[in-house]
Chain A
Amino acid sequence: MKTFLYMICCGVVISVAYWAYKENYRTQASLRRVAELQQQIAHERETISVLNAEWAYLNRPNRLRDLVDLNFGELGLVPLLPEHFAEVELVAYPQVEIDVNELVNPVSTSSAPTAGPDKEFP
């Protein structure tokens, strides 16, 4: 009985030692991976900041203005002026296509509701 207990204990010790050994190496591998990732993050951040700077540089007002001038033929953009403001009331409603039948028969005799102009003007 005693010997059996000893053997079990030995077995437990060996397996726990093996587990600890493995965990140790796994931890070290994880730490290395974390360091790698952090380096990668730092690199990505640097890239982002460079891209941000580049974006700001490419979108600088002077360059955009020159581009607008260069492409005036296609874009026809002009500086925003007070005349460009308008009242909402001045915007035309979209043209409603009117069904010819409705003109002929303005009051519908069928019981089913027809899609009249009312739908467009709620």
Chain B
Amino acid sequence: MRTPLRPLARVLDARERGENPDLIEAEERAIRNVKTQMKMRRRAESRLLVLGVFFFAAFLTVGTRMASLSASEPTEPVSTASIPQIANQRADIVDRNGEVLATNLATTALYAQPPLMVDPQTAAAGLVKIFPDLDLKRLQEDFSGKRKFLWIKKKISPEQQQQVHDLGEPGLLFGPREMRLYPNGRLAAHILGGASFGKEGVNAAEVIGVAGVERYFDETLRDPAREGAPLALSIDLTAQSAMRQVLSGGMKLMHAKGAAAILMDIHTGEILSMASLPDFDPNDRPRVLTKGDQSDSPLFNRASQGVYELGSTFKIFAAGLSLEKGQVNEDTMIDTRGPLRWGKFKIRDFHDYGKELSVTDIIVQSSNIGSARLAMATGTKAQQELLGKLGFLDVVPVELPETRSVHPLLPPNWSELSTMTISYGHGIAATPLHLAAAYAAVGNGGFKVKPTLLRQETIPPQREQVLSRDTSTKLVKMLRAVVTRGTASFGEVKGYEVAGKTGSADKPKPGGGYYDKKVIATFASIFPASDPKYVLIVTLDEPSIKAHGEMRRTAGWTAVPVAAELVARLMPILGLRPNVASAGNVQYMASGN
């Protein structure tokens, strides 16, 4: 109830008593002020309380959130996370046309945690039933012993996985794995090499290349920045398959213990197919031999690792050097009376070729004496220089790690005698791949080529000129004559104008000296002679075939027919049309070396 500031009753009383009625008003006012103050205070207090509660709640919320944030693991927003499965994959390897040579396959690894096992003995027995190669006793020991963890199988098939599942043992567990698969089996095995597991974990394992391009390009293949883009090799899968088939047939027919062949693009140096027999399955790579000769292992790549004396195939370099120096032309007559003596050493020919032969005929008939005389005239230094430029003094710079450590065997002291023997391919040993690169330079107008296993789009713009174009043309003509009327007459393939040189070198004995009846037969060829496109090298290890009542071991009888069959089979596959105009009558003649 509101009281007036000057209540009439009190004012009248005060007036009667003669007091000042203003005092009453002041008193009333004071009371009223106090009341108002009290009211204001209460209101302010309640507001403060509300605010306090509000702030408390706010800070509590913030605090709780902060606490929960600091206590929990940080996670990225899901929507921005990409698909991680691809990035981890090793890139595929494909051939020049995109056919798969190596790819990945998801598989499973089997491991055991014995502490989790319910019935270890039954589990071990069940596993041995599924995987007969496991040792029951060993498994039982492992399962009942102190081991907490062990790998049982690194790769198992889905069927096997189901069988293990069916055992119902909680201590047998599976880990996802990615394995390398080579769908073509033995094809191009030496080029691809193989892969195995590196660091292994339960949830993943690293796949690493152990040999071949798998090892050479290991980093590249695993690089996530590639985003799974396949590595394109220069190999043509169809050609490789045909080469392996023909070569293995030829090897059996010629009773050879090994064989190797290389087909190379003469301009780019791309290796279109390269086979070495015997070979292996990279899906199940055999172990490295611990004893004996490594060259007997199927892992050994005869084409790029085998260092052989390549015999008469070297004569063309002696002729090339003489032509290049202008000392002779292709018709200059050279004295070939034998034997040629140098100290105690005598150089003989396979047959006696009479008093003299033209330079072309030295190549055609394969005269050791003639090429030795050519080499003597040009000298040691020039020979070293040319062979160096052709790549015979270094390792072949091809993308195979095994090949990078294979040095050609050179004479320790390059004397005049060495110069003479090297001119016909003795006293120097190199790989067939060296020879392929050198013949490419002979045939392509004299440009040095770098053998490569990667697909090239164009001819490299800057190439070193090793021989002049003129010399190259003349040499190809000589090589063509070897096939039309010389030692390689079995090498004629109608329409492909094969030009080439045979070489049969006796195999060296490990203790020194040479075997009498063991040879390395090589045929190095270039075709088509009118416009060279390919180089083909065929090497047979210890071939022999009975023909015309005689045991034949020379390249003309062994390596050349195989090479001819290879040309006839591979060229249509690579789309090279036979030149109809050149396919005239062919005259076959049999002769040695």
| A interface residues, Cβ below 8 angstroms from B | 30-31, 34-35, 38, 41-42, 45-46, 49-50, 52-53, 55-57, 59-62, 65, 79-82, 84-85, 87
Residue numbers in A under 8 Å from B106 (CB-CB) = 46, 49-50
- The reply to whether B238 and A61 form a contact with Cβ atoms under 8 Å apart is yes
Q: Among A49, A52, A65, A79, find the residue whose CB has the most chain B CB atoms closer than 10 A.
A: A49
Q: Is B569 an interface residue (CB 8 A)?
A: yes
Give the contacting residue for A61; candidates B78, B79, B184; CB below 8 A. B184
Residue numbers in B under 8 Å from A60 (CB-CB) = 183-185, 187
Q: Is B507 an interface residue (CB 8 A)?
A: no
Residue numbers in A under 8 Å from B63 (CB-CB) = none
Give the contacting residue for B242; candidates A42, A79, A84; CB below 8 A. A79
Chain B's interface: helix, strand, loop or mixed, by majority? mixed
Complex alpha-carbon distance, A37 and B245, angstroms: 47
Residue numbers in A under 8 Å from B83 (CB-CB) = 38, 41-42, 45
Closest-by-CB residue of B relative to A42 is B85
Residue-by-residue, is B457-501 near A (CB-CB < 8 Å gives 1, otherwise 0)? 000000000000000000000000000000000000111100000
Residue numbers in B under 8 Å from A56 (CB-CB) = 99-100, 103, 183-184
Interface hits, B558-593 → A, CB 8 Å:
568-569, 571-573, 577-578, 580
- The reply to whether A31 and B78 form a contact with Cβ atoms under 8 Å apart is yes
9 A-B pairs closest in CB distance: A61-B241, A56-B183, A56-B100, A57-B183, A80-B572, A82-B578, A42-B85, A60-B184, A31-B78
- The reply to whether B580 and A80 form a contact with Cβ atoms under 8 Å apart is no
Given contacts A35-B78, A50-B106, A60-B185, contact A81 B572 (CB under 8 A): yes
Closest-by-CB residue of A relative to B100 is A56
CB distance from A6 to the nearest CB of B (A): 16
CB distance from B240 to the nearest CB of A (A): 8
- The reply to whether B78 and A34 form a contact with Cβ atoms under 8 Å apart is yes
- The reply to whether B572 and A85 form a contact with Cβ atoms under 8 Å apart is yes
Complex alpha-carbon distance, A51 and B460, angstroms: 37
Given contacts A45-B85, A56-B183, A60-B185, contact A81 B78 (CB under 8 A): no
Residue numbers in B under 8 Å from A59 (CB-CB) = 99, 183
Given contact pairs A30-B79, A82-B493, a sample of 11 additional A-B residue pairs in the complex whose CB atoms are under 8 Å apart = A31-B77, A34-B79, A38-B83, A49-B106, A50-B105, A53-B181, A57-B181, A60-B187, A61-B184, A62-B241, A80-B569
- The reply to whether B184 and A82 form a contact with Cβ atoms under 8 Å apart is no
Residue-by-residue, is B53-90 near A (CB-CB < 8 Å gives 1, otherwise 0)? 00000000000000000000000011101010110010
Residue numbers in B under 8 Å from A62 (CB-CB) = 184-185, 187, 241
Q: Among A45, A60, A79, find the residue whose CB has the most chain B CB atoms closer than 10 A.
A: A60
Give the contacting residue for B572; candidates A35, A50, A61, A84; CB below 8 A. A84
